[in-house]
Amino acid sequence: MIQSRYQARINALLASGQRKLLGIVGPPGSGKSTLAQEIQRLYPEQSIVVPMDGYHLANSELARLGKAERKGAEDTFDSAGFAALIQRLKTQPAGETIYAPEFRREIEEPIANAIPIQPENQLIIVEGNYLLLNTGHWAKLHNLLDETWYVDVDHALRESRLIHRHMQFGRSEAAATDWAHNTDGPNASLIEASKERADLIFSWD
């Protein structure tokens, strides 16, 4: 359950009656997807979740680029495409549906046009790892999002969640642990270094 002080912050965002884009950012395993879904549950008529993970490059393209073993790093996403989507959502005209892709963990691939976003969706919950980076196309997001929350979590708990998640989707315990340490770990360090740019540090009580 989201604490009342955080809910009050969302209410203040929505008080203008204008569309607002709320960024939810954090390292892998921080619980940002859970937070985004909880906010959407609290505002079911007004909000929709738009995940950055839909802009993962396809596995075939990662293999072509020699980046398959680094999947999840900031250069394994179509950051330009994602920034363009957020710009479109900022200025969505009446009567136009915008479609966003969705990442499906069961197949480890993005699916195009899976999330329809309507002009009446007043709160767009943008969820992802790299919303606060100040390099490349990622740097455009800071000015497009009305507010960005960084989800802070204990490192040991975050790593435990990641290992469990990787095992759920088919990796052995050894492979899951290796991926959490050697792939997710460096990504988490990069993401954590950007948290000073957040408008709010969120923590689950």
Measured CA to CA, the distance from residue 38 to residue 197 in angstroms comes to: 23
- The two counts, helices (H) then strands (E), for the chain are 8, 7
Q: Quick one: pLDDT at residue 198?
A: 97
The pLDDT of residue 160: 80
| Predicted pLDDT at 96 | 97
Alpha carbons 21 and 65: distance in angstroms, whole number: 32
Q: pLDDT tier at 31 (50, 70, 90 boundaries)?
A: confident
According to DSSP, the β-strands at 147-151 and 200-202 are: parallel
Does an H or E element contain 102, and which? Answer: strand 98-104
pLDDT bucket at 165, cuts 50 / 70 / 90: confident
What's the one-letter identity of residue 30? S
Residue 162 pLDDT more than 90? no
13-25 tens-digit pLDDT: 999 999 999 999 9
Q: For 56-85, write each residue's pLDDT tens digit.
A: 999 999 999 999 988 999 999 999 999 999
On the CB side of 79, CA atoms within 13 Å amount to: 18
> How confident is the model over 157-177, as a mean pLDDT?
78
Does residue 169 surpass a pLDDT of 80? no
For residue 104, pLDDT over 90 is answered with: yes
Model-wide pTM > 0.85: yes
Predicted pLDDT of residue 38: 95
Instruction: Specify the pLDDT at position 171.
Output: 82
Higher per-residue pLDDT: 177 or 134: 134
Average pLDDT over residues 88-99: 96
Q: Is the pLDDT of residue 10 over 80?
A: yes
Domains (ranges, CATH) in the chain? 4-202 (3.40.50.300)
Where do the H-state alpha helices sit in 43-78?
59-65
Report the mean per-residue pLDDT for the chain. Answer: 91
Query: Residue 112 pairs with which residues in a beta bridge?
Result: none
